[in-house]
């Protein structure tokens, strides 16, 4: 059963994104797009002409998508969460490399934002993995899940994880990498057609990856709570600058994660 969930992970991510758009629309007192709008967008992208800047640029997009899918599979198939974090890091590095591989200044700006995002959330994910190991005695996601929820033992890490969810799903105030309020998107600006669709589907996988970590931390209730909170915060706040985002993560998120880990070890 879990194998099928992994194989169909991009589809589940698309449904999550569609549901998120509907919820955000209701929060803003508008009808919003249909639930299947992400899949309609994919069908439209497939009809667009594909322009390849150079073969490496195209291959890096595919590498990012496949590597990210592997990271999702590691988490969902009871694999080592530390490996999953490092594989996800590799996927992110491939995306950054893609951004720097073309001469477009907008692509370079997007790549720089992705790098800042990585240095912001990666330490928190690593500390979360270490905290799970301290609590459960295992790096395996299955054993971590069997250990129950971690609401009481890791509340501060839960707050830090919420910050990561906001950043990874492109929500204000930490919408540093996507910057959906701006006209020029960033890393994906030089992609078109099928390769832009690959990056679009990769966003579905990012949702599955980060919410899988939320599930390991607090179960289904935490996933639902974080999902609603992320959209509430997104609708109630303005986007911070990249520098401000990094400061927030290192002044609040990282200290909270470290304090919680020290409390577990003590």
**Run of H or E residues at 102:** none
Which pLDDT belongs to residue 130?
Answer: 96
For residue 190, with 0-12 CB atoms within 10 Å meaning exposed, 13-18 middle and 19 or more buried, which class applies? buried
3-state SS, residue 140? strand
Domain of residue 203: give its range.
Answer: 2-265
DSSP secondary structure, 67-98, as one string: HHHHHHHHHHTT-BHHHHHHHHHHHHHHHHHH
pLDDT tens digits, one per residue of 170-212: 888 998 877 665 656 678 878 877 888 888 888 889 999 999 9
Confidence of residue 18 (pLDDT cuts 50, 70, 90): confident
pLDDT tens digits, one per residue of 90-99: 999 999 999 9
pTM, 2 dp:
0.91
Report the number of distinct structural domains present in the chain: 1
**Both structure tokens of 114:** 């992705």
The residue with greater pLDDT, 136 or 26, is 136
Instruction: Work out the average pLDDT over 99-123.
Output: 91
């Amino acid at each position: 059963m879990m194998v099928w969930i992994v194989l169909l992970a991009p589809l589940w991510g698309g449904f999550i994104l569609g549901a998120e758009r509907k919820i955000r629309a209701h929060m803003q007192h508008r009808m919003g797009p249909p639930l299947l709008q992400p899949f309609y967008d994919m069908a439209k992208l497939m009809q667009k002409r594909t322009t390849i800047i150079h073969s490496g640029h195209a291959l890096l997009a595919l590498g990012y998508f496949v590597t990210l899918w592997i990271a999702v599979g590691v988490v969902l198939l009871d694999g080592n969460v530390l490996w999953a974090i490092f594989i996800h890091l590799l996927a992110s590095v491939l995306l950054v490399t893609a951004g720097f591989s073309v001469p477009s200044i907008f692509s370079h700006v997007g790549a720089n934002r992705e790098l800042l995002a990585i240095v912001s959330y990666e330490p928190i994910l690593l500390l979360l993995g270490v905290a799970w190991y301290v609590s459960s005695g295992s790096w395996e996601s299955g054993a971590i899940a069997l250990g129950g929820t971690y609401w009481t033992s890791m509340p501060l890490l839960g707050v830090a994880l919420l910050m990561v969810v906001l950043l990874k799903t492109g929500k204000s105030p930490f919408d540093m990498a996507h910057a959906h309020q701006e006209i020029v998107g960033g890393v994906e600006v030089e992609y078109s057609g099928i390769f832009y669709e690959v990056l679009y589907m990769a966003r579905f996988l990012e949702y599955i990856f980060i919410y899988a970590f939320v599930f390991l931390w607090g179960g289904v209730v935490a996933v639902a709570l974080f999902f609603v909170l992320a959209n509430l915060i997104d609708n109630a706040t303005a986007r911070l600058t990249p520098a401000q985002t990094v400061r927030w993560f290192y002044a609040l998120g990282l200290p909270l994660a470290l304090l919680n880990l020290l409390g577990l070890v003590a």
